[in-house]
Amino acid sequence: MTLYQFHRKLSLIALLPLLAWTLSGVMHPLMSNFKPKVNQRLVVNQEEKDADQLLFTADSIIKINHWKDIQSFRLVNIDSNLYYQFKKSEGNIYVNTKNGDILPNGENVYISYLASLYSGESEDKIATITEQKTFNNEYVKIARILPVYKVEYQRMDGLKVFIDTNTDQMTYATNTLRSGYQAFFLWAHSWSFLDFNTTFRLFVLGVFITICFLAGVSGILVYTKFRKTYQRQQISKVPWQRRLHRSLGIGLSFSLLLFAFSAFMHMLPKYNALDKTSFTSPTSFTPEELTFDFDSIPKGWMNIQPIKLKDKVYYQVHYKKGRSISKRYYNVATQKELSQGDSIYAVHLAQRYSGLKSIRNITPVNKFANEYGFINKLLPVQKVQFEGEGNPRWYIDTKTSFVGAIIEDKSAISGFIFAYFHKYHVFDFLGKPIRDTIMSFFALGNFMVGILGFWMYLNTKSKKRKGRKRDKVLVS
């Protein structure tokens, strides 16, 4: 088999996957235009509060309602009223801090309230509220948080917003157009139709990515080997499809190779990927453990919630610090502040989740950058760096006790390669519109190379068929 035949056979095998990947790649930057217009940067429940607003204390409410214990609580505003949001095994219960009354159907009331703040729509336009327990085409994995509530509005565009009442976040927003494109992208780019077996899907993807890479390498070798021959050819005798295929192919070969290599590297860590949504810190508190004098702590706090740290109960108190939130920890029994409390709590959670013990260092992370990018969603977090193989680092959101990311050296390298050579963040300094344009150009160019190559193949087959027919006529 000649080098040219090898290139052609590999290219034919890789054709459909290449067309699916590049077409969905061209469309991906356009998806930002499909996003519904909602209040993405809305800040909720960050008003200053004080002990005078808590006419009924948390421990007294637990006793009044004869609850044995609760999992946690915090404060939320609904319209102009302040409520305790008590987290219990059967769900959240909302109690007015001034009169101690339980808010009827409180969870749905708070869902509707938050959804309307984010969507800008009135509550009477809500069609349905349903609990979302799994990721799908409407609620994709990059949203990160489960379970949440899906709020669907009576609108022509089919607006849906997803609300997490425990963090006040709108975790995702979509509409009919965006959901349709998301389904196409997952099908064409990530091959979600093979999700019945993740290992099998990754294996099949790996095989075709490797074939694409080899097809690109063999194409470069063919061009290099016959470059002088091509230069001597008369342009008028070479079909325009072949000329354009050669020019685009060699000109964009580097982007195809980078695409295939970065996709393969990105795929590898998924064999050992950990489900970040599976980490929880189950706790329970009795009313006796929650008795505390909030007049004893500095004024200007925004929220409070109890946490357990090495079998001791602390109140995690949130204060406004610039654009971010700082946290201070007060021992319920002694009412004394725990120095470096946020770091200590982050280490406690990281060790509990990971089973690792030896800590190298702890670093607060207040913005997305490099290793801990926007895809991880949660901020601020504490980066807990462990000793050991791969230098594991766990990014912990101490406010929610969620894991923002789990990164080792090999996955960090993979993430860097994928970000810079697949999503072209290397061009971030030019701005997102220009970066997206460059990415679309590369994807569209490789799509055209594949189409032109297949066109050439069909033309060659057609000529051979006509030649065989002509030979039969001459023989007869």
The predicted pLDDT at position 346 comes to: 95
pTM of the predicted protein model: 0.84
The predicted pLDDT at position 271 comes to: 56
Q: Within 10 Å of residue 193's Cβ, how many Cβ atoms?
A: 10
pLDDT digits (tens, 9 = 90+) for 300-327: 899 999 999 988 999 999 998 777 788 9
Would you call 403 helix, strand, or coil by DSSP? strand
Give the span between the Cα atoms of 474 and 476, in whole angstroms.
Answer: 6
Asked if 439 and 423 touch (Cβ cutoff 8 Å), the reply is yes
The predicted pLDDT at position 274 comes to: 54
pLDDT digits (tens, 9 = 90+) for 235-258: 666 777 777 888 888 888 888 898
* Sequence ranges of the domains in the chain: 3-32+188-275+427-467, 33-184, 340-400
Walk along the chain (476 residues) and give the pLDDT tens digit of each residue: 688 788 888 889 999 999 999 998 888 777 766 788 888 778 788 888 888 889 999 999 999 999 999 999 999 999 889 999 999 988 999 999 999 999 999 999 999 999 999 999 989 899 999 999 988 888 988 888 888 999 999 998 889 999 999 989 999 999 988 888 888 888 999 888 898 888 898 899 999 999 999 999 988 888 887 776 666 666 666 777 777 888 888 888 888 898 898 888 877 766 555 556 667 777 899 999 999 988 888 988 999 999 999 889 999 999 987 777 889 999 999 999 999 999 999 999 999 999 899 999 999 998 887 788 777 878 889 999 999 888 899 999 999 888 988 888 877 777 778 877 887 887 888 888 888 888 888 889 999 998 888 888 887 777 767 666 666 655 55
The predicted pLDDT at position 287 comes to: 92
In whole angstroms, what separates CA 302 from the centre of its chain?
28
Where b means 16+ CB within 10 Å and e means fewer, 117-136 reads bbbebeeeebeeeeebeeee
- Whether the link from the prior residue into 392 is cis, omega within 30° of 0, is no
Helix or strand run (H / E) with residue 321: strand 312-321
Q: Within 10 Å of residue 226's Cβ, how many Cβ atoms?
A: 14
Non-local (6+) Cβ contacts of 330 within 8 A are 292, 297, 314, 315, 317, 336, 337, 338
Amino acid identity at 114: L
The predicted pLDDT at position 307 comes to: 94
In whole angstroms, what separates CA 345 from the centre of its chain?
25
The predicted pLDDT at position 267 comes to: 77
Give the span between the Cα atoms of 163 and 109, in whole angstroms.
Answer: 12
Non-local (6+) Cβ contacts of 278 within 8 A are none
Give the span between the Cα atoms of 460 and 416, in whole angstroms.
Answer: 42
pLDDT digits (tens, 9 = 90+) for 46-91: 888 888 889 999 999 999 999 999 999 999 999 889 999 999 988 9
Q: Is 438 exposed, middle or buried (0-12, 13-18, 19+ CB in 10 A)?
A: middle
Non-local (6+) Cβ contacts of 267 within 8 A are 202, 205, 206, 209
The predicted pLDDT at position 7 comes to: 86
The predicted pLDDT at position 211 comes to: 93
Give the span between the Cα atoms of 383 and 365, in whole angstroms.
Answer: 7
Ranges of H-type helices in 233-367: 240-251, 253-267, 341-354
